[in-house]
């Protein structure tokens, strides 16, 4: 990945935002529009807010190749892929939506020669214990559930599509993206809404990204993760959970939840003995 010594123009082409009607999509849509990007918003459900200036909405299921292609104009330059299932659930559903749907997105990106900005997750590494040296993106993945596995798959798919097809992608390992941190775990994992917008804008603006992985967290003093490609895309988070440290609640959950970095996802269906 090359250093971001200059910026791509915001109007280089349309930006397709999948999952636009979800919580984070509704944060990103006005933020990307305000930065000058021409947006095509897509989701299964209608966009619930007033459309940002110049944006269009097209309903599409990411598991439907034809519908996804119909929603994506030929001049799309970037696909910001935030669509899919966003938590641990039935493995068959995750297989269909997160794995099959993401494959459809990368195939569309290959045909359109578009860059992919992918909403990966901290759950790709969730089974690392909390008491150890900070993780870097060079550390092996340790997913904490089928949802986490789907994020590992997408990161590997991005690597393949760059090496084999030259498709650029940036994978954002999002921690806990909330208006403000709520419990003690979030002191390490929080990503503020403004920093989310800054992160995606940086990934869109960098002139070359090749293949990259960036921790999707704010500038938290108590962060568990470091050593990523943030500097290469010019992402500089501005917020810090220390501003909320005296307001958060103790983390709930069992011993497994509190032992591993993935939190509650690690405890779902946990049956290991010893």
Q: What is the mean pLDDT of residues 223-247?
A: 97
Confidence of residue 15 (pLDDT cuts 50, 70, 90): very high
Q: Rounded mean pLDDT of the chain?
A: 95
Cβ within 8 Å of residue 57, ≥6 positions away: 20, 40, 41, 42, 43, 46, 47, 51
Query: What is the pLDDT, as a whole number, of residue 132?
Result: 72
Instruction: Examine residue 8 and state whether it is found in any structural domain, yes or no.
Output: no
pLDDT exceeds cutoff 80 at 5? no
Query: What is the pLDDT, as a whole number, of residue 133?
Result: 84
pLDDT exceeds cutoff 60 at 81? yes
Confidence of residue 9 (pLDDT cuts 50, 70, 90): low
Q: What is the mean pLDDT of residues 69-96?
A: 96
Q: Residue 142 maps to which CATH number?
A: 3.40.50.720
Confidence of residue 13 (pLDDT cuts 50, 70, 90): confident
Give which of 128, 148, 132, 157 is closest to 140, Cα–Cα.
Answer: 128
Instruction: Examine residue 134 and state whether it is found in any structural domain, yes or no.
Output: yes
Confidence of residue 8 (pLDDT cuts 50, 70, 90): low
- Over the stretch 64-78, which tens digit does the pLDDT of each residue have? 999 999 999 899 999
Q: Is 128 a catalytic residue?
A: no
pTM of the model: 0.95
Phi-psi region of 89 (alpha: psi -120 to 50; beta: other; left: phi over 0): beta
Query: What is the pLDDT, as a whole number, of residue 73?
Result: 86
Instruction: Examine residue 273 and state whether it is found in any structural domain, yes or no.
Output: no
Query: What is the pLDDT, as a whole number, of residue 230?
Result: 98
Instruction: Examine residue 274 and state whether it is found in any structural domain, yes or no.
Output: no
Domain count, the chain: 1
- Over the stretch 109-152, which tens digit does the pLDDT of each residue have? 999 999 999 999 999 999 999 987 899 999 999 999 999 999 99
Spatial separation of the C-alpha atoms in residues 197 and 201, rounded to whole Å: 6
Q: What is the mean pLDDT of residues 255-263?
A: 97
Q: Which residue has the higher pLDDT, 115 or 273?
A: 115
SS (H, E, C) the chain: CCCCCCCCCCCCCEEEEECCCCHHHHHHHHHHHHCCCEEEEEECCCCCCCCCCCCEEEECCCCCHHHHHHHCCCCEEEEEECCCCCCCCCHHHHHHHHHHHHHHHHHHHHHHCCEEEEEEEHHHCCCCECCCCCECCCCCCCCCCHHHHHHHHHHHHHHHHHHHHCCCEEEEEECEECCCCCECCHHHHEECHHHHHHHHHHHHHCCCCCEEEEEECCCCCCCCECCCCHHHHCCCCCCCHHHHCCCCECCCCCHHHHHECCCHHHHCCCCCCC
Instruction: Examine residue 6 and state whether it is found in any structural domain, yes or no.
Output: no
- Over the stretch 196-223, which tens digit does the pLDDT of each residue have? 999 999 999 999 999 999 999 999 999 9
- Over the stretch 30-49, which tens digit does the pLDDT of each residue have? 999 999 999 999 999 999 99
- Phi (first) and psi of residue 219, to 5 degrees: -80, 55
Which of 147, 153, 161, 193 is an active site residue?
A: 147
pLDDT exceeds cutoff 50 at 4? no
Cβ within 8 Å of residue 164, ≥6 positions away: none
Confidence of residue 7 (pLDDT cuts 50, 70, 90): low
Instruction: Examine residue 4 and state whether it is found in any structural domain, yes or no.
Output: no
pLDDT exceeds cutoff 90 at 1? no
Confidence of residue 11 (pLDDT cuts 50, 70, 90): low
Instruction: Examine residue 178 and state whether it is found in any structural domain, yes or no.
Output: yes
Instruction: Examine residue 192 and state whether it is found in any structural domain, yes or no.
Output: yes
Which range of residues forms the domain containing residue 209?
Answer: 14-267
């Amino acid at each position: 990945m090359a250093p971001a010594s200059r910026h791509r123009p915001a109007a280089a082409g349309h930006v397709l935002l999948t999952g636009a009607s979800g919580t984070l999509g509704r944060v990103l849509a006005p933020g990307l529009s305000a930065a000058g990007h021409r947006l095509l918003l897509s989701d299964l459900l209608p966009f619930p807010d007033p459309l940002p200036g110049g944006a269009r909405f097209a309903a599409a299921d990411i598991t439907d190749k034809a519908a996804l292609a119909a929603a994506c104009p030929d001049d799309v330059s970037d696909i910001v892929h935030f669509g899919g299932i966003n938590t641990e659930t039935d493995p068959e559903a995750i297989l269909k939506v997160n794995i099959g749907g993401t494959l459809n997105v990368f195939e569309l990106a290959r045909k359109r020669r578009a860059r992919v900005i992918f909403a990966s997750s901290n759950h790709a590494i969730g089974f690392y214990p909390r008491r150890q040296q900070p993780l870097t993106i060079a550390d092996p993945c340790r997913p904490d559930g089928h949802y986490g596995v789907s994020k590992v798959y997408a990161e590997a798919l991005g690597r393949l599509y760059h090496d084999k097809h030259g498709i650029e992608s940036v994978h954002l390992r999002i921690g806990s993206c909330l208006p403000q941190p709520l419990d003690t775990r979030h002191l390490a994992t929080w990503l503020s809404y403004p920093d989310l917008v800054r992160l995606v804008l940086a990934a869109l603006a960098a002139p070359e990204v090749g293949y990259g992985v960036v921790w999707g967290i704010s500038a938290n003093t108590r962060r568990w993760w470091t050593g990523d490609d943030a500097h290469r895309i010019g992402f500089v988070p501005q917020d810090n959970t220390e501003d909320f440290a005296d307001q958060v609640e103790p983390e709930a959950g069992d011993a497994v939840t509190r032992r591993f970095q993935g939190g509650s996802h690690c405890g779902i269906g946990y049956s290991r003995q010893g």
